[in-house]
Amino acid sequence: MTKKHYFIALAIIVALGFVLSLVPPPQKSHAQTIVNGRKDGFNCVVAVSTATTLQAVGGACASPGTRPIYITDVEFGSSAAGSTAADSFPTLKYGTGSTCGTGTTVFWQAMITANGNIIANLTTPIKVPKSNDICWIMSTAGSKTLQIHGFYGADGE
């Protein structure tokens, strides 16, 4: 390659780099969907100091009606260790009714040590179908905290 060809190739590479810098970045992931001019995310927090029976998380985790809920992160802490008995370890469910009593489906669960916590940053969001509430249970007595992050899907999705 001659010196002239080298400089031409270098000029093409520089020009191509400039053109590529003008190309918009790839479309944001579904977790960053902009709805009505804002990021349509939510954060729900629950803290209790007793044994927890199945109950709705409520707040921003209540069913938005015709829109599904996508969960991207779950944080759970407890002063008590979960046991292997059903519902005595952190469990998230969805269904309809104030305690998800109809169509109840388990979608996340974990084991926990006393004075421990679990942080689940999900690579693939968990989809809670439209018209369903998020409920949780950990029947072991003790102080517990639950925090859920996510976003709402499109209307009618």
Q: For residue 140, is it within any domain?
A: yes
**Cβ(141)–Cβ(82) below 8 Å:** no
Quote the pLDDT of residue 94: 93
Bridge-based pairing of strands 41-48 and 38-39 is unpaired
In a domain, 83, yes or no: yes
Q: Hey, is 150 helix, strand or coil?
A: strand
**Mean pLDDT (whole number) for 90-94:** 90
Using alpha carbons, list the distances in angstroms from residue 16 to 8, 24, 121.
Answer: 12, 14, 37
Predicted local distance difference test score (pLDDT) of residue 114: 86
Residue 34: which CATH number? 2.60.120
* pLDDT for residue 32: 47
- pLDDT tens-digit map of 11-64: 555 444 443 344 444 444 444 444 333 467 888 888 887 777 777 788 888 888
Please write the tens of the pLDDT for every residue from 94-138: 998 878 888 899 999 988 888 889 999 999 999 999 999 998 888
Domain count, the chain: 1
Domain that holds residue 102: 27-152
